[in-house]
Amino acid sequence: MTGLDIEKDKIIEMACIITDSDMNVLAEGPNLIINQSDELLDSMSDWCKEHHGKSGLTQAVRDSKISLQQAEYEFLSFVRQHTPPGHCPLAGNSVHADKKFLDKYMPQFMHHLHYRIIDVSTIKELCRRWFPIEYKLAPQKKASHRFLFLTLDKCLYRKLMQKQHRMTVHLRSIPLSSLVIKFLCWVLTPLRT
C-alpha cells in the first residue's frame, strides 16, 4: 500500500498463497503490481518512499499496466479455483490493515472469503511474551517489504513455531489459565480442517 490512510492511500502490490491447515503451500497465486499515479506515489510517506524505492516496488508500480479492477478479477479467479465461497480466511501479518483496503477497493474478492481473519502478528506477539527464548530462535524477517516474501516468511515461521512448541511439559510449567492453555495448544499444533 502507499500508506495506511484508507481515504487517500491505495493498494500497490498483492500476492497470495493457498495453504492447508498445516501451513503447507498448496498453490501460489499471482504476484501483481498495481499501477497508481505518479502523484499518489510522490505523496507517500518517507517510510514508504524509502522502503518501496529500495525494493524496486515504486518503479514497478510506475511501469505496471495492471489496474485495481484487473487485480481483483485475477485474485478472485485464483481463490475461486482453490476455495469454496465463505471458507477461506484472510491471513497475514497485521492483516487488519490489509482487510480495510481490500474491503474498500476489492469488495467482490472479500465477499468470497470467510469473515474471520488470521493475524499471525498475534501469534508472534504471544510467542515473544510467553516463549522469549524460543522466539529468539525464530528466523528473522528479511529486509524486503515485498508482499510475497512476507507471506512465505510467515508460513515458514508458523511451521517453525509448530515444531518448537509441541511442548506439553513446557506448557505445564507455566501458570496459565486453562483457557489460555487451550488457546496455545490450538495455535501451536496443526489446525484441523
Nine-digit cell at 153? Answer: 516468511
Cα–Cα distances in Å, from 144 out to 15, 114, 148, 171, 190?
A: 14, 29, 10, 34, 28
Residue type, 183: F
Check if 145 is active-site. Answer: yes
Gap between the Cα atoms of 52 and 117, Å rounded: 26
3-class state of residue 29 by DSSP: strand
Judge whether 189 and 166 are in contact, CB under 8 Å. yes
Residue 66 is given by DSSP the state -
Q: Which among 114, 145, 165, 170 is annotated as catalytic?
A: 145
Gap between the Cα atoms of 94 and 92, Å rounded: 6
Judge whether 22 and 190 are in contact, CB under 8 Å. yes
Residues labelled catalytic: 145
